[in-house]
Amino acid sequence: MAPKVLVSDKLSETAIQIFRDRGIDVDFDPSIGKDKDKLLAVIDQYDGLAIRSATKATEKIINAATNLKVIGRAGIGVDNIDRAAASKKGVIVMNTPFGNMITTAEHAIAMMFAVARQIPEASASTHAGKWEKSNFMGVELTGKTLGVIGAGNIGGIVCERALGLKMKVVAYDPFLSEERAEKLGVQKVDLDDLLARADFITLHVPKTEQTSNILNAEAIPKMKPGVRVINCARGGLVDEAALAEALKSGHVAGAAFDVFEVEPATDSPLFNLPNVVCTPHLGAATTEAQENVAVQVAEQMSDYLLTGAVTNALNMPSVTAEEAKIMGPWLALAGHLGAFIGQMTSEPIKAINILYDGTVSSMNLAALNCGVVAGIMKAGNPDVNMVSAPVIAEERGIKISTTNQNKSGVFDAYIKVTVVTETRERSVAGTVFSDGKPRFIQIKGINVDAEIGRHMLYTTNDDVPGIIGVLGSTMGKNNVNIANFTLGRASEGGQAIALLYVDAPVSDVVLAELQATGKFNQVSHLEFDVS
């Protein structure tokens, strides 16, 4: 059955056709995005939800979406999606951060020109039949210093464009390396230095706890007198009331804002002030950008629903289609290793340590980690997946550590998972053979070679004669067919284990019968998600 996607906002017909061409069953109804009750009533029918800004993917909507696997936002901002609720529900949230980069950067540059030359006010005056040439004395951009707060994708383009205008560029970005700054041709500075030196300041950061009101009543006085401020990023990065006061006092010569703390912005301290240019969140509003983000979100969602490839996800490591093909068996193995330990561990888990050896150590370890953690968490919560499991682990205070190393043994690659509780450590290791089938190769430090089946019986015992006979006769007597049988021991007469791959679940009656023989230290039925 083909995956089903709801497009509840206005997207280009090209994007809708991409879904259809890829074999996705798509419903296109932009009216639903504005009707939360209607969306709530139908959302359980869909595997994917493609939106822009009109649709609000609230916790209530997400919790009602019993089949939902992915939400795709055509654009950058995801303020209209409850990401925490999506992650807990195991729903991937994607955006398209690159489709409107150029458009948004160009708008920032256009706004800088507009405020430098007072173009909107001069236009309005001239339209009114006035000729107030002397009232609109502007400033050149050439030779001026532009301070860029946030030199990521969009900020980097702004830097390049500004250098093309013969401006000097300084950038504040804690994540900007010296190498990247040098490549861009900008000087990396701290925030106070930027404020003191910049003739123009433009912001290109997301709104976070760290960036909220980054230009506030304390920061604004540190700015160079006569500075002009441009914000085409997110509302709430600048204290609008404090900036309005600085504009009135003349400390700030002008401002250009495309985004506001409250949107739609019907009122703002910045409105109706001289030399303040305002636009209604037009940063991404070009024909090219709208088409780009729509096409990108359709391709990303189709890739995920059809191949498992994850691109531009905000709550899941990215996995390319090529990686998904290669890593498929290893992701399955990661889940099985986690499932083994999860089913065997009844105590609260303090730490999960994951070792990657050989060729697997160069794969997408973030995704493999998610697979391991999901396998562990499913023992207590069958509804978790690779998206929600790390969130649950973090909530429980579980520490997750990863080690990768070159080939160290007979296997080209293997994964070893160790779980630490208050009283013990438990480990299991596995590999993928050339046939693409995952196998357990070590349990509790004891070497084995066990094919993984949906239903398995795990036992531990002291290495004494008669164990195989008891297992075989008990299974036969209870009509449980054995598909495969693996033994391992630490040493002669020492601790030993057995793994039986069986065709059907082992009942509690059978488990109790085995335990009653007195020959086993532990007897457990295990179940694995084997397709």
Instruction: Please report the domains of the chain, with CATH numbers, ordered by start residue.
Output: 4-98+288-307 (3.40.50.720), 101-278 (3.40.50.720), 317-443 (3.30.1330.90), 452-531 (3.30.70.260)
Instruction: Please give the structure tokens belonging to residue 258.
Output: 């495309």
Instruction: Please give the structure tokens belonging to residue 463.
Output: 């290495």
Tokens 């493999």 correspond to 368
Residue among 22, 161, 197, 234 flagged as catalytic:
234
The residues pairing with 229 across neighbouring beta strands, listed in sequence order, are 201, 255
Q: Is the confidence at residue 502, as pLDDT, over 90?
A: yes
SS3 per-residue string spanning 95-117 = CCCCCCHHHHHHHHHHHHHHHHH
Could you tell me which residue, 335 or 322, shows the higher pLDDT? Answer: 335
Q: Mark 4-35 as b/e (b = at least 16 C-beta within 10 Å).
A: bbbbbbebbeebbebbeebebbbebeeebbee
The long-range contacts involving 35-43, CB below 8 angstroms and separated by at least 24 positions, are: 36/61, 39/8, 40/64, 42/6, 43/6, 43/68
Q: Is the confidence at residue 368, as pLDDT, over 70?
A: yes
Distance separating alpha carbons of residues 178 and 197, to the nearest angstrom: 19
Cis peptide before 30 (omega within 30 of 0): no
Query: What pLDDT is stored for residue 166 in this prediction?
Result: 97
Mean pLDDT, to the nearest integer, of 399-403?
Answer: 93
Query: What pLDDT is stored for residue 104 in this prediction?
Result: 93
Query: What pLDDT is stored for residue 321 in this prediction?
Result: 75
**258 CB burial (10 A radius; 0-12, 13-18, 19+):** buried
pLDDT, one tens digit per residue, over 264-286 is 899 999 999 999 999 999 998 88
Q: Is the confidence at residue 327, as pLDDT, over 80?
A: yes
Query: What pLDDT is stored for residue 174 in this prediction?
Result: 83
CB contact at 8 A, 157 and 102: yes
Distance separating alpha carbons of residues 58 and 37, to the nearest angstrom: 12
Distance separating alpha carbons of residues 227 and 220, to the nearest angstrom: 10
Query: What pLDDT is stored for residue 383 in this prediction?
Result: 59
107 catalytic per annotation: no
The residues pairing with 71 across neighbouring beta strands, listed in sequence order, are 49, 93
Query: What pLDDT is stored for residue 315 in this prediction?
Result: 79
Q: Is the confidence at residue 377, as pLDDT, over 90?
A: no
Which of 243, 198, 187, 193 minimizes the C-alpha distance to 225?
198
Residue among 204, 281, 336, 455 flagged as catalytic:
281
CB contact at 8 A, 1 and 22: no
Distance separating alpha carbons of residues 171 and 190, to the nearest angstrom: 8
Mean pLDDT across the chain:
92
Q: Is the confidence at residue 9, as pLDDT, over 70?
A: yes
- Indicate the range of 197-211, 369-383, 406-420 predicted with least confidence: 369-383
CB contact at 8 A, 216 and 188: no
Query: What pLDDT is stored for residue 309 in this prediction?
Result: 85
Query: What pLDDT is stored for residue 105 in this prediction?
Result: 95
234 catalytic per annotation: yes
Number of Cα atoms under 13 Å in the Cβ half of residue 497: 19
Residue among 245, 263, 291, 513 flagged as catalytic:
263
Residues contacting 368, CB < 8 A, separation 6+? 327, 330, 331, 334, 354, 356, 360, 415
Mean pLDDT, to the nearest integer, of 72-76?
Answer: 89
Query: What pLDDT is stored for residue 112 in this prediction?
Result: 98
426 catalytic per annotation: no
Residue 79's φ and ψ, nearest 5 degrees, are -65, -25
Query: What pLDDT is stored for residue 531 in this prediction?
Result: 64
Q: Is the confidence at residue 324, as pLDDT, over 80?
A: no
Query: What pLDDT is stored for residue 386 in this prediction?
Result: 76
Mean pLDDT, to the nearest integer, of 515-520?
Answer: 93
- Model-wide pTM > 0.75: no
Q: Is the confidence at residue 387, as pLDDT, over 70?
A: yes
Query: What pLDDT is stored for residue 323 in this prediction?
Result: 78
- Indicate the range of 231-235, 288-292, 437-441, 513-517 predicted with least confidence: 288-292
Q: Is the confidence at residue 508, as pLDDT, over 80?
A: yes
- Indicate the range of 94-103, 179-188, 290-299 predicted with least confidence: 94-103
Q: Is the confidence at residue 82, as pLDDT, over 80?
A: yes
Which of 136, 103, 133 minimizes the C-alpha distance to 119?
136
Distance in Å from the first CA to the final CA of the chain:
17
